[in-house]
């Protein structure tokens, strides 16, 4: 198993609770804006996924930069 896979799996687990919390908040927000349940669910899932993906991407960049700074290779 390569380090990228391990890093991604670990980061996904770390963000599970945050993702659920964010999803609930976004769902409620979209409902208040007048979206149907289906629309609110779709928008909240999409926004949540994009946010978490960005967080994971940023963490991976920091990880890779740290490895490079210490002259470690994957």
Query: For the chain, what is the domain count?
Result: 1
Q: Which domain holds residue 56?
A: 17-67
For residue 28, give the nearest of 40, 39, 20 by alpha carbon: 40
| Global pTM exceeds 0.85 | no
With respect to residue 10, please indicate whether it lies within any of the assigned structural domains: no
- The Cα–Cα gap between 55 and 72 comes to 23
Per-residue pLDDT of the chain in tens (74 residues, 90 and over written 9): 565 666 566 656 666 888 889 999 999 999 999 999 999 999 999 999 898 888 888 888 888 888 888 876 55
- Quote the pLDDT of residue 3: 59
- Quote the pLDDT of residue 64: 86
With respect to residue 45, please indicate whether it lies within any of the assigned structural domains: yes
Structure tokens at 38: 């289906």
Q: Count CB-CB contacts under 10 A for residue 9.
A: 11
- Quote the pLDDT of residue 10: 61
């Amino acid at each position: 198993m390569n380090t990228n896979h391990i890093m991604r799996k670990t980061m996904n687990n770390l963000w599970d609770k945050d993702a659920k919390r964010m999803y609930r908040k976004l769902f409620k927000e979209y409902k208040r804006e007048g979206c149907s349940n289906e629309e609110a669910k779709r928008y909240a899932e999409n926004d949540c996924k994009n946010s978490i993906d960005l967080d994971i991407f940023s963490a991976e960049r920091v990880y890779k930069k740290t490895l490079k700074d210490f002259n470690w290779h994957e």
